[in-house]
A = this chain, B = another copy of it.
Amino acid sequence: VFFAVVFIFPRCQCPTHSHTYSQGNTSMAVSNIRYGAGVTKEVGMDLQNMGAKNVCLMTDKNLSKLPPVQVAMDSLVKNGIPFTVYDNVRVEPTDASFMEAIEFAQKGAFDAYVAVGGGSTMDTCKAANLYASSPHSDFLDYVSAPIGKGKPVSVPLKPLIAVPTTSGTGSETTGVAIFDYEHLKVKIGITSRAIKPTLGLIDPLHTLHMPARVVANSGFDVLCHALESYTTLPYHLRSPCPSNPITRPAYQGSNPISDIWAIHALRIVAKYLKRAVRNPDDLEARSHMHLASAFAGIGFGNAGVHLCHGMSYPISGLVKTYKAKDYNVDHPLNSFVICRSPHFPHGLSVVLTSPAVFTFTAQMFPERHLETAEILGADTRTARIQDAGLVLAETLRKFLFDLDVDDGLAAVGYSKADIPALVKGTLPQERVTKLAPRPQSEEDLAALFEASMKLY
């Protein structure tokens, strides 16, 4: 069914690469995870087993006094692991905040890292580990093209244990570190399998006190990781196709392994996200969403994402007036979660365009679009294949309405007049947008933003 449409792509003729993907890599970075209520307590033993003697624990200022970090520190102390805390991680990191963490890491000469926090903390820690291990590199060396040089990483990194405290980013399993490049006012990233954490400790106890909107918004990130990675350009249709494995990108297009993770994560979102949002004490639902975040991470970390993510960066970057819907603040611990997302919620910025995006992309792989609509609850038995995009978009709209999502870009402060700026902000995101199953002109992007102004 796929092959009805492949001929419009510049199909790679390299006989090997055209059928090659790797789940992991050739430089031994991994997606190992351990899951369980309380696994954070084991981090000291893990570091002891690795022989670590000088550990850097990274977190942010708000989290540093709260249970997830306290539990990790207690475990380090109990196991006699010498460590230094770096709690200056910036939420929504920038090149400047990355540099500060890198300098700290270089001076500390650490032999292992622990990152406790959300995507900002894990991403900062990955960058610190990378550049401290590669002291002669220029910062742009490893930043993705076209802004950076996108050099492959060949230096060995130190072990990094990631302890996520949100259920969305999946950064504990990916080789991606995202930051704001302030000079150009654009969100870009470092993407290399080499910076994947050595181990992710998926501890659902850290998710019990997340307020409903944080659960919803981070869940939307998982939803889009799954939907986008499942519909990226398949790995054998991507170009260019470097002959040396080490120069192949981590985002290599959809493939038989990433597909498994994407679909499985999507099933969990369909089954548990609403429950997880509704009830902070629903340990089962929140545990499953914490796993789904990691699962979707393994999927998109190998396959990539495309338009929802590519278009999300200007949406969150250019917003002026948005005030997040009232968070449930009846629990004293909630404040730390809220403080960590002072900006426009990433998951919301990603999901707002999803009905428009999948309406646009469905003509390429309509079966996959229908299949995901069915998982999200649509009755697709009588659906026509040419309506796949509409069916998925309608299913998403219903799902987002049930979860009380703002009614489109207009509801978060955008108007038609902003569209040129939004399009302009999307163009540098070719790291991901080129993985969309359908190429997009600037007019296409403008139409997608316009179609996302109102959802319901």
Give A contacts to B, CB under 8 Å.
Answer: 15-28, 30-39, 41-42, 45-46, 49-50, 154, 159, 198-199, 243-246, 256-257, 260-261, 264, 291
With known contacts A245-B45, A291-B256, A26–B38 Cβ distance under 8 A: no
The residue of chain B having its C-beta at the shortest distance from the C-beta of A156 within the complex is B51
Count of identical protomers in the assembly: 2
Q: Which residues of B contact A30 (CB under 8 A)?
A: 24, 28, 30, 32
**28 pairs of residues in contact across A and B, judged by CB atoms under 8 Å:** A15-B37, A15-B38, A16-B36, A16-B38, A16-B39, A16-B41, A16-B42, A18-B36, A19-B37, A19-B39, A20-B42, A21-B34, A22-B33, A22-B199, A23-B34, A24-B30, A24-B31, A25-B32, A26-B46, A26-B49, A26-B199, A28-B32, A28-B159, A45-B243, A45-B244, A45-B246, A49-B244, A260-B261
Chain A contact residues: over half helix, strand or loop, or mixed? mixed
Supposing A245-B42, A264-B260 touch, asked if A28 and B198 sit within 8 A by C-beta, the answer is yes
A27 to B31, CA, bound (A): 12
Q: Say yes or no: A31-B35 contact (C-beta < 8 A), given A49-B154, A246-B49.
A: no
Query: Which residues of B are found within 8 Å of A154, using beta-carbon distances?
Result: 49
Residues of B within 8 Å of A27, CB to CB, are 49-50
When distances are taken between beta carbons in the complex, the residues of chain B under 8 Å from A261 are 260
Q: How far is the CB of A265 from chain B (nearest CB, A)?
A: 10
Residues of B within 8 A of A35 (CB): 19-22, 256
For A246, what are the chain B residues with a Cβ–Cβ distance below 8 Å? 45, 49
Q: How far is the CB of A156 from chain B (nearest CB, A)?
A: 9
* Closest Cβ–Cβ distance, residue A257 to chain B (whole Å): 8
* Complex alpha-carbon distance, A35 and B20, angstroms: 5
Interface centre among A33, A45, A159, A245 (most CB of B within 10 A): A245
Given A15-B38, A19-B37, output 15 extra A-B contacts at Cβ < 8 Å: A16-B41, A20-B34, A20-B39, A21-B36, A23-B32, A23-B33, A23-B34, A24-B199, A26-B32, A27-B49, A28-B30, A28-B159, A35-B256, A45-B246, A260-B264
Nearest-Cβ distance from residue A261 to partner chain B, whole angstroms: 8
Would A245 and B46 be within 8 Å (CB), given that A19-B38, A24-B33 are in contact?
A: yes
Minimum C-beta distance from A68 to chain B (A): 15
Contact call B49/A34, Cβ cutoff below 8 A: no
Name the CB-closest residue of B to A20: B36
* Cα separation A46 to B25 with both chains bound (whole Å): 10
Compute how far the CA of A35 lies from the CA of B16 in the bound complex, rounded to whole angstroms.
10
A42 — which chain B residues lie within 8 A by C-beta? 16, 20, 245
Cβ distance A363 to chain B, nearest Cβ, rounded Å = 25
Min C-beta distance of A393 to chain B, whole Å? 28
Nearest Cβ on chain B to A29's Cβ, whole angstroms: 8
Contact B28–A22 (Cβ < 8 Å): no
Q: Which of B23, B49, B159, B260 touches A31 (beta carbons < 8 Å)?
A: B23
Cα–Cα distance between A42 and B245 once the two chains are bound (Å): 8
Q: Give the residue name and chain of the B residue nearest to A47 (CB).
A: B26
Residue of B nearest to A264 (CB): B260
Task: Give every chain B residue within 8 A of A291 (Cβ-Cβ).
Answer: 256
Contacting pair B50 A26 (CB below 8 A): yes
Kindly provide the distance from the CB of A45 to the nearest chain B CB, expressed in whole angstroms: 5
The list of the 6 closest CB pairs from A to B, nearest first, reads: A24-B32, A20-B36, A19-B36, A22-B34, A30-B30, A16-B38
How many Å lie between the Cα of A354 and that of B436 in the bound state?
45
For A40, give the chain B residue with the smallest CB separation.
Answer: B16
> CA separation between A27 and B30, bound complex, in Å?
11
A161–chain B nearest beta-carbon distance, Å: 9
Chain B contacts for A18, CB-based, 8 A: 36
Residues of B within 8 A of A25 (CB): 32
Query: Separation in Å of the A18 CB from the closest CB of chain B?
Result: 8
Interchain nearest-CB distance for A320 vs B (Å): 42
